[in-house]
Structure 1
Amino acid sequence: MTNEKEELTFLESQLEWIKQRDELLEQIENKLYKMKQIAEKVAANGDFITVNEKHQLNERFLQLKSEIAELERGLQIYYN
């Protein structure tokens, strides 16, 4: 009986670990999609975007990049 309880506890902890990793990966995916949208906007309209708009888009792109790096650090916890 104890082995079954221990196994159930282990499996529940593994399931929680997977759910947390999945949430982090989903957040990363969403941010990457936003970065793609920014890159596509600049590529498609580069000549028609003002310098100020380009600066704002670049700042947002860098912010998303930083947020992804932070989420990736969170993933490292699960791999170690």
Structure 2
Amino acid sequence: MYHLTSEFNHKNDIFREKEEIKQELKQELMWVKYRQRMLDIIEEKLFQMKQLAEKAKEKSLSADESKELNDRLNNLAEQVKALDEESRRIEDIRILE
């Protein structure tokens, strides 16, 4: 009888371990998908920055236009940095649930 109980407990432990691994992998996949969405947004913002820089390069800007363009570039750069930092936080995986 003891042998059957021991074998049952062992199989139950293996099942629990597999379930834990499965849950961890699901969480990791969710994080990867979330990170990819954030990287897509970051890519779009970087593209906007590139367009602004090319616009500035192509024409002569007044001081006000130059300041406005610089402010827009700085704002986009801050957004990119914030998105990157936020989407790297694996320990805050709860945002994915």
Post-superposition Cα deviations, 1:20-61, rounded to whole Å, max 9, x if no partner, equal: 11122112111111110000000011x2x3322221111100
Sequence identity, in percent? 30
- Equivalence for 2:51: 37
- How big is the alpha-carbon RMSD for the aligned residues of Structure 1 and Structure 2? 1.8
Larger deviation, residues 4-13 vs 57-66: 4-13
Unaligned runs of 5+ in 1: none
Evaluate the alpha carbon distance shift between residue 76 and residue 10 of structure 1 in structure 2; reply closer, same or farther with a 3 A threshold: closer
Number of aligned residue pairs: give it: 77
Structure-2-length-normalised TM-score:
0.67
Amino acid at match of 1:55: K
- Whether the 8 Å contact between 1:21 and 1:78 is mirrored in structure 2 is no
For 1:56, the equivalent position in structure 2 comes to 68
Aligned to 2:16: 2
Q: Any conservation in 1 of the 2:49–2:73 contact (CA below 8 Å)?
A: yes
Q: TM-score, normalised by structure 1?
A: 0.79
> 1:65 offset after TM fit, Å?
0.9
Cα offset, 1:64, TM superposition: 0.5
Unaligned runs of 5+ in 2: 1-14, 92-97
